[in-house]
Amino acid sequence: MLNTYMTYEDLTKYIEESGRSYDMKLLDQAYELAAKAHDGQMRRSGEPYICHPLNVAKLLVELGMDSQSIAAALLHDVVEDTAVTLEEIKSKFGPDVALLVDGVTKLTKMTFSSLEEQKAENLRKMLLAMSQDVRVMIIKLCDRVHNMRTGDAWPEQKRRDKALETMEVYAPIAHRLGISGIKEELEDRSLRYLDPVGYNEINNLLDTHGAEFLNGIRSDIREHLKENGIEPECIKSRVKSVYGIYRKMYMQRKNFDEIYDIYAVRIILDNVAECYNALGQIHDMYHPLPNRFKDYISTPKPNGYQSLHTTVIGREAIPFEVQIRTNEMDRMAEYGVAAHWKYKAGVSSRDRLDERLAWVRQLLEIQREADDSEELLRDIKSDLLPEEVFAFTPRGDVINLPAGATAIDFAYAIHSAVGNRMIGAKVNNRIVPIDHVISTGEIIEVITGPADKGPSRDWLKIVKTSEAKNKIRNWFKKERREENIAEGRAALDRELRRNMINLTDAKMQEMLAEVARRQRMNSVEEMCAAIGYGGLLLSKIMPKIKEEYTRIREEEAPREAVIPKRVHATDGVIVEGIDNCPIKFAKCCAPLPGDEIVGFITRGFGVSIHKKDCENVKASMANEENRERWVKAYWAPNESKAFRAAVEIEAMDRDGLLSDLLQTLGDMRVPILGMNARPANNSHAVITINVSAANTEHMNNILGRLRKVRDVISVTRS
Active site residues: 80-81
Using CA atoms, how far apart are residues 196 and 188, in angstroms rounded to an integer? 10
**Smallest distance from the beta carbon of 139 to Mn ion, in angstroms?**
9
CB 61 within 8 A of CB 18: yes
Q: Is 646 helix (H, G, I), strand (E, B) or coil?
A: strand
CA atoms within 13 A on the CB side of 519: 28
Residue nearest to Mn ion (CB): 143
CA atoms within 13 A on the CB side of 525: 4
Binding of residue 143 to Mn ion (CB under 5 A) = yes
Q: Is 450 helix (H, G, I), strand (E, B) or coil?
A: coil
Phi and psi, residue 384, nearest 5°: -90, 5
CB 328 within 8 A of CB 273: no
Binding of residue 47 to Mn ion (CB under 5 A) = no
Q: Closer to Mn ion by CB, 77 or 354: give it.
A: 77
Q: How far is CA 433 from CA 407, 423, 437, in A?
A: 8, 10, 9
Listed in sequence order, the residues at least 6 apart from 188 whose beta carbon sits closer than 8 Å to its beta carbon are 199, 241, 242, 243
Q: Closer to Mn ion by CB, 77 or 168: give it.
A: 77
**Smallest distance from the beta carbon of 424 to Mn ion, in angstroms?**
40
**Smallest distance from the beta carbon of 143 to Mn ion, in angstroms?**
4
Binding of residue 487 to Mn ion (CB under 5 A) = no
CB 406 within 8 A of CB 464: yes
Q: Closer to Mn ion by CB, 81 or 365: give it.
A: 81
**Smallest distance from the beta carbon of 97 to Mn ion, in angstroms?**
16
- Identity of residue 263: Y
Q: Closer to Mn ion by CB, 27 or 583: give it.
A: 27
Q: Closer to Mn ion by CB, 77 or 526: give it.
A: 77
Q: Is 42 helix (H, G, I), strand (E, B) or coil?
A: strand
Q: Which stretch binds Mn ion (CB under 5 A): 73-81, 165-173, 304-312, 517-525?
A: 73-81
Query: Count of residues binding Mn ion (CB under 5 A)?
Result: 2
Using CA atoms, how far apart are residues 561 and 153, in angstroms rounded to an integer? 95
**Residue whose C-alpha is closest to residue 512's, from 499, 528, 500, 535:** 528
Using CA atoms, how far apart are residues 317 and 257, in angstroms rounded to an integer? 11
Which of 77, 96, 188, 487 lies at the binding interface for Mn ion (CB under 5 A)?
77
Q: Closer to Mn ion by CB, 104 or 333: give it.
A: 104
Q: Which residues pair with 634 in a beta bridge?
A: 574
**Residue whose C-alpha is closest to residue 3's, from 51, 57, 68:** 51
Is beta strand 583-585 parallel, antiparallel or unpaired with respect to 319-326? Answer: unpaired
CB 283 within 8 A of CB 308: no
Using CA atoms, how far apart are residues 67 and 97, in angstroms rounded to an integer? 9
Q: Which stretch binds Mn ion (CB under 5 A): 72-80, 546-554, 665-673, 697-705?
A: 72-80
CB 265 within 8 A of CB 237: yes
Q: How far is CA 151 from CA 76, 85, 242, 700, in A?
A: 18, 28, 18, 99
Q: Which stretch binds Mn ion (CB under 5 A): 74-82, 320-328, 366-374, 636-644?
A: 74-82
**Residue whose C-alpha is closest to residue 194's, from 158, 163, 162:** 163
**Smallest distance from the beta carbon of 71 to Mn ion, in angstroms?**
15
Q: Closer to Mn ion by CB, 143 or 487: give it.
A: 143
Listed in sequence order, the residues at least 6 apart from 281 whose beta carbon sits closer than 8 Å to its beta carbon are 224, 225, 228, 230
Q: Closer to Mn ion by CB, 34 or 583: give it.
A: 34
Q: Which stretch binds Mn ion (CB under 5 A): 76-84, 234-242, 283-291, 457-465?
A: 76-84
**Smallest distance from the beta carbon of 66 to Mn ion, in angstroms?**
19
- Identity of residue 258: E
Q: Closer to Mn ion by CB, 74 or 191: give it.
A: 74
Residues in the chain: 718
CB 391 within 8 A of CB 84: no
Q: Which stretch binds Mn ion (CB under 5 A): 75-83, 182-190, 647-655, 689-697?
A: 75-83
Q: Which residues pair with 386 in a beta bridge?
A: none
- Chain residues that interact with Mn ion, rule: CB under 5 A: 77, 143
